[in-house]
Amino acid sequence: MSSFVLYTITGLGLAGLYFLLASGLSLIFGLMSVLNLAQGAFFAVGGFAAWMVMDLLGDVPLDLRFVLAVIVAGGAGAAVGTVVERGFVSRIYGSHVRQILLTLGLGTAGVALLGGWFGWDPRILQQPAWFVQTTQIAGANIPNSRLLILAVAVVLFLALMVFLTRTRHGLIIRAGVENPSMVRALGIDVGRSFTIVFALGGALAGIGGALGAVYFNGISPGLGTDQLIYAFIVVVIGGLGSVPGTAVAAVIVALTQVYANNYLQAGLGSISVVVLLAVVLLIRPQGLMGRVRP
Amino acid sequence: MTPDAAISVTDLHVWRGEAHILHGVSLTVPRHQVTALMGRNGVGKTTLLLAIMGLLPATGSIRMADTELVGMPTHRVAQRGIGYVPEDREVFGGLTVAENLRLAERPGSDPRYDHVFELFPDLQGRLGQVAGTLSGGQQQMLSLARALLEPRAVLLIDEPTKGLAPIVVEHVVAALQRATEDTTVLLVEQNLWVAEQLATDVIVLDHGTVTYTGGMRSLVDDPALAGRHLGVEVR
Amino acid sequence: MSRRSAVFVGIVGLLAVVPFLPFGIPILFSGSLDSAGTLQVLAVGLVFAALAMSYDILFGSTGLLSFGHALPFALGSYGTNLLMIHAGLPYPIAIVVAVASSVLIAVVVGALALRTVGVAFAMVTLAVAEAFSLLVLTDPLRILGGEEGLPLATAQVPALFRGVVNLPNVYWLALALAVATFLIGRRVVSSRAGRVFAAIRENEPRVEMMGLRPFPFKLASFVTASTLAALAGSVYLLVVRGSNVGITTPDFTLAIVVMVVLGGAGRLWGAALGGLVYGILTLRLAAVATSETIDALPHWLSGPLSEPLFILGVLFILFVLFAPGGLSSLRPRITRRPRRGPMDGDPMSPGTTA
């Protein structure tokens, strides 16, 4: 029982990371039909930004420093996302294949750039001592960092939902995911929303990178790209463009992975997730909550 | 450009993919009246509206006042005061009625909710309903309401009665008659009765070119003419 | 002989005599052309050329953006190797059996994946390839070598291809593979089916309106491309003397996409050029990068410059932005009229109506 609770909360922490990586991906795809292969690089940028804050601001107390690190990671991710959209993707509207290839090039070069600067070995993030201590929940000793990651992801999910449902920009994004041409025909410049979703996706992935550096015990340039496959799977299972769908799918995928690894055989988790994707695509190609078929 | 023309189209060519749909269309849409755009299925009526909205690439000229619309991004065309009611309504099915209407508001303007709810009282009681769950007729009213919420210089309306039950058609036509008084409208319509109720003038397209321009009455009163241009028996 | 065939024969002839040339090409290669190091690099480049051409049939000709093309290549390599190690088959027979099995797997995977379109197709192919990659990594049956890789079963390889002395033979095998792939690919693309492939890429709904079912043609394209990739994989096994988990990964699939786009999608010889250039660059950039000139630069510059993938990534970005037709579109255009390629289409949202 106690191991079940541990696996479940570990899985939910992983789900939080998947959600942070996948929600931006889903919005970008839903709105622009662009599969953003650079999203993994955004994650890594956030991770290294957080690492630098922790490493350079030695005088600041650890707790406060970590809060700063997460904020800087989100900001760095948003900045990179904005640059990628404004500077590159927006130059070739009208050809989705070229845009996807462009993000492939940016992702590859971006990860290699980080590798050139920081090296390929994981950098360990300094963290407050209470992160590695445990809290007892239903008889299981849960590392506090897992709970923190889960809490941050839930807060960001709620914030994102508030943004999407309560603001005009959010409204435009939700409408644009359904039918960007009609949004334009109402006199709205969807191009601005494109920049917003890239910045938003970058910020979420960047924060994911900072938290991922805690979850995976270090940040390396390829970490985000390694997780990107699972983020894609989450996006497709959840339904392209649906943020609640992404959240639900992140939980399903992460729990499947963690349970399979621990109850079946180590290593089977990832394969189970792939099988899950194949099944979902064959039964319900539009995903759990998708409105449009991909 | 004739002085009373709201929009004048000159030598317009439009392709969809590799298909050449409009072959040098020239026409004018007169101000302050409803003009019906008619013709058989697939002659390019919807294509013409899409081209005006900048949703399809075109060559030639579409002028509104002194502004050239060809090559202008869609949102800028709309900001010039063109309201668009597309074929198949295209309401945002996952959004509520209120959200659909809020998208049509221009920031800093005074949206005419009273006007819209007077025309379509049905919508007022359904503001919280998700648009995808509305009936076809209600979706059509929502699509029209979106276009009428702000004052528009020109309305482009594409088959507003398509696929609706006869009783709903009458309701929509009645609402349109009130809504389009003294407004410049280009109305794509297959149903001759509907066109007759609403339009003063008619333009007939065939094979990507204009084959007839004139008064609605003269077309309806001359069965031979109508038969020749529309391929329909009149009554 | 037409001018084009003459150029083709000339290039192949030139490549064929490389092992006899005792001089080098500065910067591009470290040693003389007949040295083992250079032949190895070139052989890898030629196998990549064949692999890129196989992918071009799928992506360039038919417009199907698969993210799982590493799978058939890896199956060719691992399959051939496993058959030599565990069934004791000699290399040529192992190739035949492995490629035949890959055809069967391609039929099944293709039939499954092609139920979806656009980005979902990309995802399913990616997922299936990733599943194999994870199978190799975790290696539950302890036969795939896991992270270490699976060394070549040298004993089953004909003496002709063994040892450094016979490296020229391996090189010629790689060249033969590239030439065969080119000829087969050209045959396929210019056949009646090939014209349907192109029609599917341009406008799939219209193919349906013409009364043809696109599915069998898409499957044929998928299986042909996979078969040729498996064959390339079985030769790659010999060139790099083993099967490595690296060729199963999504990263490698994306590398294949990069090769084809860099060379010019939609032209077989463009894809071949892309594969060759990619193969040579990845191996040589690493060496050039550690040179003294680059070391002398400040770290923020020398770090990235010493990463081959950084340079390739930047190159790739520049091509996608400014020369989407790839290397093969850069030659002066005198007779060539502009043509539509896979980059102009929109396979991501096939249901789009304006």
pLDDT given at position C341: 61
Confidence of residue C205 (pLDDT cuts 50, 70, 90): confident
Instruction: Check if C202 contacts B (Cβ < 8 Å).
Output: yes
Token couple for B27 = 């026409």
pLDDT value at C349 more than 50: no
Closest chain C residue to B55, measured at CA: C354
Query: How confident is the prediction along chain B (235 residues), in pLDDT tens digits per residue?
Result: 455 789 999 999 998 877 888 989 999 999 999 999 998 887 889 999 999 999 999 999 999 988 999 999 999 999 999 999 999 899 999 999 999 999 999 888 889 999 999 999 999 999 999 999 999 999 999 999 999 999 999 999 999 998 899 999 998 999 999 988 888 999 999 888 899 999 999 999 988 888 889 898 888 888 887 777 776 544 4
The closest CB to that of B56, out of C202, C203, C354, belongs to: C354
pLDDT tens per residue across span A202-226: 999 999 999 999 999 999 999 998 8
pLDDT at B234: 47
Residue A20: the pLDDT is 95
Q: State chain A's mean pLDDT as an integer.
A: 90
pLDDT of residue C108: 92
Calpha distance A198→A230 (Å, rounded): 19
Proportion of chain A above pLDDT 90, given as a percent? 65
B87 in contact with C, Cβ within 8 Å: no
Give the pLDDT of residue C239. 94
Tens digits of residue pLDDT in C112-162 = 888 878 777 887 888 888 888 888 988 878 888 888 889 998 888 888 888
Cβ–Cβ below 8 Å for C321 and A92: yes
User: Does the beta carbon of A62 lie under 8 angstroms from any beta carbon of chain B?
Assistant: no
pLDDT of residue C353: 30
- The residue in chain A having the minimum alpha-carbon distance to the alpha carbon of residue B101 is A186
ipTM of the complex: 0.91
Q: How high is the pLDDT of residue C1?
A: 65
Report if residue C203 sits inside a domain: yes
Residues C225-235: pLDDT tens digits? Answer: 999 999 999 99
Tens of pLDDT, residue by residue over C237-285, are 999 999 999 999 888 998 999 999 989 888 899 999 999 999 988 888 7
Read off the pLDDT of each residue in C190-212 and give the average, rounded to a whole number: 88
Mean pLDDT over A214-239 rounds to: 90
Per-residue pLDDT at A129: 87
SS (H, E, C) chain B: CCCCEEEEEEEEEEEECCEEEEEEEEEEEECCCEEEEECCCCCCHHHHHHHHCCCCCEEEEEEECCEECCCCCHHHHHHCCEEEECCCCCCCCCCEHHHHHHHHCCCCCCCCHHHHHHHCHHHHCCCCCEHHHCCHHHHHHHHHHHHHCCCCCEEEEECCCCCCCHHHHHHHHHHHHHHCCCCEEEEECCCHHHHHHHCCEEEEEECCEEEEEEEHHHHHHCHHHHHHHHCCCCC
Q: What ranges do the domains of chain B cover?
A: 1-81+153-160+183-235
**What's the farthest any 2 CA atoms get from each other in chain C?**
65
Which of B76, B66, B77, B69 minimizes the C-alpha distance to B12? B69
pLDDT interval class at A73 (50, 70, 90):
very high
Interface test with A, best of B56, B74, B155 (most A CBs within 10 A): B74
- Interface A-C, measured as beta-carbon pairs within 8 A, has a size of 153
CB nearest to C135's CB, from A108, A233, A271: A271
User: Which residues in chain B are contacts of A291 at CB distance < 8 A?
Assistant: 93-94
CB–CB contact C347 A111 (8 Å): no
Whether residue C301 lies inside any domain: the answer is: no
Asked if C203 and B56 come within 8 Å (Cβ–Cβ), the reply is no
* CB contact (8 A) between residue C307 and residue A236: no
Cβ–Cβ gap B18/C354 under 8 Å: no
Taking CA atoms, what residue in B is nearest to A190?
B75
Tell me the nearest-neighbour CA distance from C63 into chain B, angstroms: 16
CATH number of B1-81+153-160+183-235: 3.40.50.300
Any domain includes C115? yes
Q: Which of C202, C203, C354 sits opposite B55 (nearest CB)?
A: C354
For chain A, the structural domain boundaries read 2-223
pLDDT band, very low/low/confident/very high, at C337 (cuts 50, 70, 90): very low
Mind listing the pLDDT tens digit for each residue in A3-37?
899 999 999 999 999 999 999 899 898 888 888 99
Classify residue C53: in a domain, yes or no. yes
Q: Are the beta carbons of C202 and B50 separated by less than 8 Å?
A: no
The closest CB to that of B53, out of A178, A185, A291, belongs to: A185
Contact C16, C175 (CB under 8 A): yes
The alpha-carbon gap from A86 to the nearest alpha carbon of chain B, in Å, equals 17
Residue from the list A168, A175, A187 with its beta carbon closest to the beta carbon of B92:
A175
d(CA B152, CA A185): 13
pLDDT, position A96: 79
Q: Count how many domains chain C has.
A: 1
Q: B35, B72, B48: which is closest to B214 by C-alpha? A: B35
Residue C254 tokens, joined: 């994306």
In a domain, C265, yes or no: no
**Looking at the domain assignment, is residue C277 inside a domain?**
no
What's the CA gap between C154 and C146, in Å, rounded? Answer: 19
